[in-house]
Structure 1
Amino acid sequence: MDVPGIYARCSAAFGERVHLVGDRWGAATGLPGWDVRALVNHLVTEERWTPELFGGATIDQVGDRFDGDLLGEDPLATYDGAAAAALATIREPGATERTVHLSFGDRPGSEYALQLSADHLVHAWDLARALGTDDILDEELVALLLDWYVRETEALYHRIAVIGPRIEVPAGSGPQAELLARFGRVG
């Protein structure tokens, strides 16, 4: 599966759950200090950054433009618009071959798109848990992202402290439990 395809499916997994929120924007999540609205806002923030970073902007050039609550009065429409714009950017020809300027250094666009994919997929699980809906993640996506994460990204995430400690899971717990544990969740 190509990177834009992985991203599209992970974005859809999160988006499907956003469309189940209804009036539960204030529901607690398993993430300290984040309710459902804060969780969705986090992904909207990432999605707003995506066209900027794939367009060659630096962190300093974007600045604080996407700080704060971006969801406004119609969080669902805001989410849908931001998700569509990010997906269109990642699907642009050559997007994953571009260099993106991240806070921890320049990275290939393909790597950044996989980082975003993993964030969408893990947060799809967080959102499902907060809403009490189906929290089973796509097995193929889990396997692809677990392999990528272990080989290429986990050490970096711990070194730059953007993720909490890994949780140990019993042997044989399965790929979803392993991926979630590596992202600090008990699944």
Structure 2
Amino acid sequence: MSRRFADIIDLYLLSGSEFTRRLRAVRPEQWPAPTPCPEWDVHSLVNHMTRGNLGYVALLNGGSAAEFLRLRDSDALHGDPVCAYVRSMRECAAAFGAPGALDRILDHPLGSVTGAQGLAMRTTDAAIHSWDLARAVNAPEELDPRLVAWVEDNLVETYAGLAESPMTVGTSRRYFAAPAAPPLAGESRQARLLRLTGR
């Protein structure tokens, strides 16, 4: 396992807590609200995050990329988005915290990854979507600086060797929006990370 991913369980939990904090701020009338992700409203974004956690647990337990994609948009909230997401986050952290899990090979849709690299992808996803959710529901948008720094510093290694990356020019953009351009003078680390991921 790469030394860069040594604290990945803690970082994953930090990114999940950032998403949870915004999720708890969602008012009933905001579930159909649009998000910065054009294909998702608030409800479907939360479902995407919850289903993603469960999907990564399935990959860790030997599930296939095809099955992951087949279930990607199926309902995982069951009428209680907050509880469903928090439960899925805890289940994911517990699964990846098991002995040997971070060294296991996962059949991810973007290519084979170790458990550690997969969880780094999940951590990055949760960080960026925490901002998306905050923007959608007018919640505080500033992310934990430690999380922002880690995600930005490790974007290249997190997606190394995969079929698509937020850092790759000419990628299919099936999974990642194109980086926003140009950079702003004096932009913060968070602003730079969001720009690199198409926000």
Fold similarity call, TM over 0.5: yes
- Give the deviation of 1:131 after TM superposition: 1.1
Moved over 2 A (4+): 60-70, 150-156, 158-161
**How far 1:151 moved relative to its partner?**
4.7
* Deviation readout 1:67-92 (Å, 9 max, x if unpaired): 32322222222222212211211222
For residues 90-135 of structure 1, give each alpha carbon's deviation from its aligned partner in whole angstroms, at most 9, with x where no partner exists. Answer: 2222221111111122111111111100100000001111111110
- How far is 1:66 from its partner? 4.8
Counterpart residue number, 1:79: 85
Q: 2:13 aligns with which of 5, 8, 12?
A: 8
More displaced 10-residue stretch of structure 1: 153-162 or 14-23: 153-162
Go from structure 1 to structure 2 and tell me whether the alpha carbon gap of 1:67 and 1:126 turns closer, same or farther (over 3 Å shift): closer
User: Could you tell me which of 14, 25, 28 is aligned with 1:20?
Assistant: 25
- 1:178 aligns with 192
1:104 aligns to 2:114 (yes or no): no
Q: Where does 1:1-187 land on structure 2 (aligned, <5 Å)?
A: 2-23=7-28, 24-61=30-67, 64-153=70-159, 156-157=164-165, 158=168, 159=171, 161=173, 162-168=175-181, 169-185=183-199
Greater helix content: 1
Alpha-carbon spacing, 1:130–1:153, altered in 2? closer, same or farther (3 Å): same
**Matches of 2:15 and 2:123, distance apart in 1:** 5
Change (3 A) 1:4 1:127: same
Q: Following TM superposition, by how much is the alpha carbon of 1:152 offset from its aligned partner in structure 2, in angstroms?
A: 4.8
Give the Cα separation in 2 of the matches to 1:5 and 1:140: 11
Which range moves more in the overlay, 20-29 or 57-66? 57-66
Q: Sequence identity of aligned pairs in percent?
A: 29
Q: TM-score, normalised by structure 2?
A: 0.84
What CA RMSD, in Å, does the superposition of the two structures yield over aligned residues?
2.0
Q: Check the 8 A contact 1:96/1:110 in 2, yes or no.
A: yes
* Cα distance in 2, alignment partners of residues 174 and 62 from structure 1: 35
Aligned equivalents of 1:34, 1:62: Cα separation in 2: 19
- Contact conserved, 1:104 with 1:160, CA < 8 A, in 2? no
